Amino acid sequence: MPKSIVVDPKEVRKPAELDISAVPVNQYVGDAKREIAQYGKERLVRAYYDMLTIREFETMLNDIKTKGAYREIEYNHKGPAHLSIGQESTAVGLCMNLETDDFIFGSHRSHGEILAKCYSAIPRLKGPQLEKVMKEYLGGDTLRAVENQKYDNIADLAENFVLYGTLAEIFARKAGFNRGLGGSMHAFFAPFGSMPNNAIVGGSADIALGAALFKRINRKPGIVVANIGDASMGCGPVWEAMMLSAMDQYRKLWDKDLGGAPPIIFNFINNFYGMGGQTAGETMGYRILARVGAGVNPENMHAERVDGYNPLAVADAIERKKKILAEGRGPVLLDTITYRISGHSPSDASSYRTKEEIALWEEADSVRTFGEYLTANKVISASEVGALQERVISKITQALKLAISPEISPRINGEQIGTVMFSNTPTDRMEDRKPEVLLPLAENPRVQQIARKARYAFDEKGVELPKMKVYAYRDGLFEAVIHRFYEDPTMVAYGEENRDWGGAFAVYRGLTEALPYHRLFNASISEGAIVGSGVGYALAGGRALVELMYCDFMGRAGDEIFNQAAKWQSMSAGVLKMPLVVRVSVGSKYGAQHSQDWSSLAAHIPGLKVMFPATPYDAKGMLNLALRGTDPVIFFESQRLYDIGEYFEKGGVPEGYYEVPEGEPAVRREGKDLTIFTVGATLYRAIEAADELATRYGIEAEIIDGRFINPLNYDKIVASVKKTGRILLASDACERGSFLHTVASTVSQLAFDYLDAPAAVLGSRNWITPAAEMEDDFFPQKDWIIDAINERILPLSGHTPTTVQTGGEMSRRARFGV
């Protein structure tokens, strides 16, 4: 049933003025008496201790990077270190009022936030809980490295564990929090709520939103903070994340009992600089970053500028904003001002700012001034300050010694990286509870309609049935999707026009009736944030199916597909799983920006599973496989195929659940003279070509459908080539850089002795995709296949080519780049 939010011309055409309410700037007023009463002396001292720890940790790294030694302990750290000296109060203030199940995601400059969040979690957890976390994490490897050192109690041991786990990660050691596969810019420790930190500027905005959606949709406690820099306000995905986080539907259309908008704070850690570009006055026009909130929703995103040089101002803001989020009135934007006294990285000569400016901030140094505030108000004595400093230095020295010891902290063998690229843990449901649905599956009108269709394209006499009566490729996709919705309570699907519209190309028709809003919803037109939030949703523990309508729109979600979905499982050393399926539809008839096949781009990126079914049987069986997996899948479909019936499986598409075995290509037709390998919709043109080869030239072609791009088992292809001695590969992807070249070269190396001719690759022309009327000049056609075989593989007696597929033409095209 369509939603009924009437857009009334009388209303929307009325003259009026927009009323934008004031945005608070640095409104916090300190009051020691109140603050001591509120937090108690112990928590205030802890906050100071945490700040000292971050300062010393970063100082140690700075010394290591710039002098090759810290307190005479020598070490050469090859990797990066983006330090946050100056920003300690921001990190600690942020975490003072966060609970363990509140998540923070961050940026390349997050050592301080990792330490602050983990240190704030330690006193919140009981001894046995801490012990359990440490014993279980990475099979106890991190704990083993520190447990033989002296400690006072479990909390003390946990601090050593956090310092070591973070530092060992920075130094790429096996017992680091992510076995050294994340490193300085990506380190995190999820059990204490420190979630992935991102080396892509602004990258955490949409991922954090996905985690907040996970919390809201699955009724989990806690909020999510996206810590991103001031310069990231220039990043498209950050804006997209803010738009997606502020959609009206959370409060207008979603079930009230869910609690409203996703609980997210976009916390801009505003140090007034990117690397060398100054956001205040040079690279931005907002003047005061908090202003941006006013552009997003009527509540200004509850935006505020907060004095990040005072940890208590930050803690106060977080506490107030948590209440707003708990009431479902998010999102929130914080402009938390601070200053990076250290350079962007240790090699930074600070040529973009004056010494005087740095001195001004050093004068106001937050660590020192907070210490002075505590001593002035008798929360701590000068001698206690000295003792705390000594304790911090001794712990960091110990962590350093342990982290650089080759015996205690070896590196993993590089080969082991291959074992964490994918999780490969098929899982029916990510959580065990009843999925929320609106009607029994059997009562679904689309299910009932499909039940009346023939599941094989031909009748008993071999006559093709009318399209309307045949179970189509899109029905296969629908069956897989609805099945998983009724199995996995965490499963959500979203994207543009996913709900009442029926999804792109009507694949989701019938889902709107079946699912509440929070499981199937329309997203803002924010491809980056659609995929990025899917990444966050998946790594937080749910299963997400997101959709990009046209393959060409992958460009808009490039970072989220290529850097985020693809890399987090391995960068976390398998700590995270990524049950995320991204559906992309390869277009046709819509010209250059809607009709390109980019499967080869996805094939190139390590960490992605890439699938491209060409039949209804595979559409269902492969999407079933993808949706039970825990790995990121880029699932290509073709708009040429949505209507097509099942031509190959004589038994038709099974009604029950089944999966296509991962990585196995399908032999669609057997033959002895030549192998034709296809990916996607080209299969059907290859069939036409094979028919003609048989009838006109007496050649039996074996056709293999390369439905899996990654992973891919070459056995069947090699066996086929050993039999036929010849192979032509064809797909709709542009020829240059096509994945087919990888297959051709691999087969050539695996079966060289059996080949009678070089493997021939036929792709689309290296042009823009032209108008529908000219498409046959662009995509490989039956005649191209036959002509290419004739020219490059096996001369066909009596054949007159109608297209030019010669080697000379290949060279000419390459020379002109077309």
Nearest CA to 346 out of 83, 529, 155 is that of: 83
* Closer residue to Mg ion, CB minimum distance, 185 or 539: 185
Q: What is the largest CA-CA distance in the chain?
A: 101
Q: Among 269-277, 306-314, 585-593, 723-731, which window interacts with ligand TPP (CB under 6 A)?
A: 269-277
**Site for ligand TPP contains 271 (CB under 6 A):** yes
Provide, rounded to whole angstroms, the least separation between the CB of residue 348 and ligand TPP: 10
Give CA–CA dist 229/271, Å, rounded.
Answer: 7
Provide, rounded to whole angstroms, the least separation between the CB of residue 229 and ligand TPP: 2
* Closer residue to ligand TPP, CB minimum distance, 263 or 274: 274
Give CA–CA dist 54/61, Å, rounded.
Answer: 11
Closest residue by beta carbon to Mg ion = 229
| Annotation says 82 is catalytic | no
The listed partner (Mg ion, ligand TPP, none) that binds 109, CB under 5 to 8 Å by sort, is: ligand TPP
Q: Which two tokens stand for residue 26?
A: 């640095």
Residues 90-119 close enough to bind ligand TPP by CB under 6 A: 107-109
The listed partner (ligand TPP, Mg ion, none) that binds 682, CB under 5 to 8 Å by sort, is: none
**Site for ligand TPP contains 371 (CB under 6 A):** no
* Closer residue to ligand TPP, CB minimum distance, 202 or 476: 202
SS3 (DSSP) at 424: coil
Give CA–CA dist 655/448, Å, rounded.
Answer: 12
* Closer residue to ligand TPP, CB minimum distance, 231 or 653: 231
Q: Angle of helix 32-67 relative to helix 111-121, nearest 10 degrees?
A: 130
Give CA–CA dist 307/310, Å, rounded.
Answer: 6
Helix (H) or strand (E) holding 422: none
* Closer residue to ligand TPP, CB minimum distance, 82 or 583: 82
Residues 233-272 close enough to bind Mg ion by CB under 5 A: 271
Give CA–CA dist 328/322, Å, rounded.
Answer: 10
**Site for ligand TPP contains 707 (CB under 6 A):** no
**Site for ligand TPP contains 273 (CB under 6 A):** yes
Q: Which two tokens stand for residue 369?
A: 């001034």
Provide, rounded to whole angstroms, the least separation between the CB of residue 232 and ligand TPP: 4
* Closer residue to ligand TPP, CB minimum distance, 180 or 237: 237
Provide, rounded to whole angstroms, the least separation between the CB of residue 354 and ligand TPP: 17
Residue 396 CB-half CA count within 13 A: 23
The CA dihedral of 771, 775, 778, 781, to the nearest 10 degrees, is 180
> Residue length, the chain?
818
Q: Which two tokens stand for residue 644?
A: 């097509």
The listed partner (ligand TPP, Mg ion, none) that binds 794, CB under 5 to 8 Å by sort, is: none
Instruction: Return the residue matching tokens 């071999």.
Output: 462
* Closer residue to ligand TPP, CB minimum distance, 60 or 231: 231
Q: Within 10 A of 576 (CB to CB), how many other CB atoms are there?
A: 23
**Site for Mg ion contains 229 (CB under 5 A):** yes
The listed partner (Mg ion, ligand TPP, none) that binds 108, CB under 5 to 8 Å by sort, is: ligand TPP
- Written in H, E and C, the secondary structure of 45-84 is HHHHHHHHHHHHHHHHHHHHHHHCEECCEECCCCCCCCCC
The listed partner (Mg ion, ligand TPP, none) that binds 275, CB under 5 to 8 Å by sort, is: ligand TPP
Q: Within 10 A of 170 (CB to CB), how many other CB atoms are there?
A: 26
* Closer residue to ligand TPP, CB minimum distance, 203 or 665: 203
- Give the count of residues interacting with Mg ion (CB under 5 A): 5
Provide, rounded to whole angstroms, the least separation between the CB of residue 290 and ligand TPP: 15
Nearest CA to 527 out of 491, 499, 560, 505 is that of: 560
Closest residue by beta carbon to ligand TPP = 229
Give CA–CA dist 17/258, Å, rounded.
Answer: 33
Q: Among 127-135, 181-189, 226-234, 487-495, which window interacts with Mg ion (CB under 5 A)?
A: 226-234
The listed partner (Mg ion, ligand TPP, none) that binds 200, CB under 5 to 8 Å by sort, is: ligand TPP
Provide, rounded to whole angstroms, the least separation between the CB of residue 65 and ligand TPP: 16
- Give the count of residues interacting with ligand TPP (CB under 6 A): 16
Q: Which of 483, 594, 604, 741 is an active site residue?
A: 594
Instruction: Return the residue matching tokens 């999925």.
Output: 435
Which of 35, 50, 113, 230 is the binder for Mg ion (CB under 5 A)?
Answer: 230
Give CA–CA dist 45/374, Å, rounded.
Answer: 8
Sequence letter at residue 37: A
* Closer residue to ligand TPP, CB minimum distance, 279 or 588: 279
Residues 651-690 close enough to bind Mg ion by CB under 5 A: none
Contact 549, 587 (CB under 8 A): no
Q: Among 85-93, 94-102, 227-235, 796-804, which window interacts with Mg ion (CB under 5 A)?
A: 227-235
Instruction: Return the residue matching tokens 């056609």.
Output: 781
The listed partner (ligand TPP, Mg ion, none) that binds 652, CB under 5 to 8 Å by sort, is: none
Residues 173-202 close enough to bind ligand TPP by CB under 6 A: 199-201
Provide, rounded to whole angstroms, the least separation between the CB of residue 62 and ligand TPP: 15
**Site for Mg ion contains 335 (CB under 5 A):** no
Give CA–CA dist 269/107, Å, rounded.
Answer: 10
Which of 106, 229, 607, 616 is the binder for ligand TPP (CB under 6 A)?
Answer: 229
Give CA–CA dist 598/719, Å, rounded.
Answer: 28
Q: Among 129-137, 226-234, 242-250, 506-514, which window interacts with ligand TPP (CB under 6 A)?
A: 226-234
The listed partner (Mg ion, ligand TPP, none) that binds 232, CB under 5 to 8 Å by sort, is: ligand TPP
Give CA–CA dist 697/790, Å, rounded.
Answer: 11
* Closer residue to Mg ion, CB minimum distance, 308 or 632: 308
**Site for ligand TPP contains 231 (CB under 6 A):** yes
Distances (CA, A) of 556 to 209, 237, 240, 791: 18, 9, 11, 39
Query: How are beta strands 73-74 and 69-70 bridged, if at all?
Result: antiparallel
Instruction: Return the residue matching tokens 């609106």.
Output: 438
Nearest CA to 509 out of 540, 482, 547 is that of: 482
Which of 106, 196, 274, 579 is the binder for ligand TPP (CB under 6 A)?
Answer: 274
Which residues is 676 bridged to in the sheet?
703, 728
Q: Which two tokens stand for residue 575?
A: 């700590």
Q: Among 189-197, 268-276, 297-305, 464-472, which window interacts with ligand TPP (CB under 6 A)?
A: 268-276
* Closer residue to ligand TPP, CB minimum distance, 108 or 620: 108
- Written in H, E and C, the secondary structure of 304-316 is EEEECCCHHHHHH
* Closer residue to ligand TPP, CB minimum distance, 107 or 630: 107
Residues 10-69 close enough to bind Mg ion by CB under 5 A: none
Provide, rounded to whole angstroms, the least separation between the CB of residue 85 and ligand TPP: 12
Q: Which two tokens stand for residue 674?
A: 């030549």
Instruction: Return the residue matching tokens 């015996």.
Output: 407
Contacting positions for ligand TPP (CB under 6 A): 107-109, 199-201, 229-232, 271, 273-275, 340, 344
Contacting positions for Mg ion (CB under 5 A): 229-231, 271, 273
Q: Which residues are catalytic?
A: 594
